[in-house]
Structure 1
């Protein structure tokens, strides 16, 4: 069950997308589909949400959205390069104007000095516009990190809507 605050943010984002006539796609790793789940929990979201890719494994990233395996091997799945490629792949394999991607270490294990638990890379691809990427390290346990990732992805999409007239 998603918190009411997340559903409120999802509804706000959907309304903003409708105003701009923008459809969305998601490419999710560490959130396992929570971004798409929050958006599609809102009745009528199908006019905005085109599709979501849950690409938890490296093979899924490669097969579903075209992230090159040599890139994953060189940089790791949790990296700026992969987040950017995920967003680009989701955009190119959808009818969306904006695609958001997330890849991170939600914990409790799997972290390292270079890639600590809570590290999430975001990518935002927009039709005809430069790609955006951001790095954040969120505090908390697995549930809190994933919830914060969903809300931050919503903020990035909201910010990206400003580029559409």
Structure 2
């Protein structure tokens, strides 16, 4: 499913909603897709590019114990990234991604595995893992960006108008 980013931003703005991103494997691609649209500053507050574990802990409050126990590519870390972005930015919606874009990976964390988190005011934090497969780095990152935009659009549709 391809998301009409301009429509997503219009819908979010009409509801008075703001968005932040917490990105690892995409390195800012989600924020870039949002801010490519003129007027996006009415909705997009900030993006965190937290490629290293240190950045995840310092910028988003991901616990070192979570990283040590589950690894950076895990739903647990994705949830803490999304919650940390929501709290730090004070936005209504925060999406997070952490994964193995490739090349490489391992038997336990293969190339193309990406964990997503979505935190939104008044909703429980949602996490999921997608196995995009060994499509190559560019295609995994693009698929990750597109899925994250779909998660944001879904959250915008679910949230009420902010008063």
Tell me the TM-score range normalised by the shorter chain. over 0.9
Distance in 2 (CA, whole Å) between partners of 1:148 and 1:96 is: 24
Q: Which runs of 5+ in 1 are unaligned?
A: 1-5
Match in the other structure for 2:123: 129
Distance 2:7 2:138 in 1: 22
**What's the secondary structure of 2:158's corresponding residue?**
coil
Matches within 5 A, 1:37-76: 37-76=32-71
Q: Is the 8 A contact 1:9 1:151 kept in 2?
A: no
CA-CA distance at 1:15 after TM superposition: 1.6
Deviation per CA, 1:76-128, whole angstroms, max 9, x where unpaired?
Answer: 0000100000000000001310000000000012x112211000000000112
Q: Distance in 2 between matches of 1:29 and 1:89?
A: 14
In the other structure, the counterpart of 2:154 is 159
Q: TM-score, normalised by structure 2?
A: 0.93
Aligned position for 2:92? 97
Whether the aligned pair in 1 keeps the contact of 2:117 and 2:125 (CA below 8 Å) is yes
Following superposition, the deviation at residue 71 of structure 1 comes to 0.7
What is the TM-score normalised by the length of structure 1?
A: 0.92
Shift of 1:18: 1.4
Aligned-residue offset at 1:9: 2.8
Larger relative contact order (C-alpha < 8 A, sep ≥ 6)?
Answer: 2
User: Partners in 2 of 1:153 and 1:20 — Cα distance?
Assistant: 20
Secondary structure of the structure 1 residue equivalent to 2:13:
helix
User: Residue 113 of structure 1 corresponds to which residue in structure 2?
Assistant: 107
Q: Give the Cα–Cα distance (whole angstroms) in 1 for the partners of residues 129 and 11 of structure 2.
A: 24
Q: SS of 1:120's equivalent?
A: strand
After the TM superposition, which segments of 4 or more aligned residues of structure 1 sit over 2 Å from their partners? none
SS across alignment from 1:37: helix
Please give the alpha-carbon distance, in whole angstroms, between the structure 1 residues aligned to 2:100 and 2:149.
19
